[in-house]
Amino acid sequence: MKVKLIAYTQRAEEVVVSAIRQCYSSLGAFDLQEKTDKETRERLIRQVIESGHTSTLEHATFTFAIEGVSRVTEIQLIRHRLASYSIQSGRYVKRGEVKYVIPRSIRDNEKLLKKYEKYLESCNKMYNSLVDNGIKAQDARYCQPQSLQTKIVVTMNARELLHFFEKRMCLRAQWEIREMAALMLKEVKKVAPIMFEKAGASCVSQGICYEGKMSCGLWEKIPGAILKKRGGRE
């Protein structure tokens, strides 16, 4: 799996703070940006995140190039509506020798791994046979499994990213999307460290677990964290 931040709002935290201050100032955003020092910027960003009034974070966007994730994770990712996606097309990109994601639970079972790899090989042979015999790629792809690797470009604003990390870094999220979210967080922390300093699962970022009786129990180890009586995950 590869995750790289390929574009983002320049001086993202300064832009966000200009938006925060604009709500309460007669000055324009440009002047506010010039007049705000580093200490004030950090204080205001932390203040809006802690208060939950995070609409101003939407002015900062981040674009990621993601490679080597499965169609399973792709489906989970696009459930996050407030984002823009460009995904490698199975209609127009013909696949020869393809790559698949193999879960660790299967890799650790030597006997099942051999069967699994044999199955994947048969799927790929069938796909290539269909294409070689004139079947369009858009139809031939119906025989490909969900473990097929794909490439994605995704853009989210900072507010949506924080929500994404809350849901997908939770231990109840599937392992692959958790790994992807962790790599995405690592990338954005390089360019916007204050906005994402407390980002993570909701028990970490908010001190609240929303998983109810399905909770992993991690919240119990976090001082002051509480458990909400509702749960469920797609």
Q: Which residues are catalytic?
A: 168
What distance in Å separates the CA atoms of residue 201 and residue 173, rounded to the nearest whole number? 10
Specify the residue for token string 């097929």.
148
What distance in Å separates the CA atoms of residue 19 and residue 34, rounded to the nearest whole number? 13
Cβ proximity of 167 and 82 under 8 Å: no
Of 166, 192, 193, give the one whose Cα is nearest residue 181.
Answer: 166
> What pairs with residue 62 in β-bridges?
8, 156
Report the relative pairing of strands 226-227 and 208-209 from DSSP bridges. parallel
Task: Please give the torsion angle defined by the CA atoms of residues 143, 145, 151 and 156, in that order, rounded to the nearest 10 degrees.
Answer: 120
The amino acid at 149: Q
At 3, which helix (H) or strand (E)?
strand 2-8
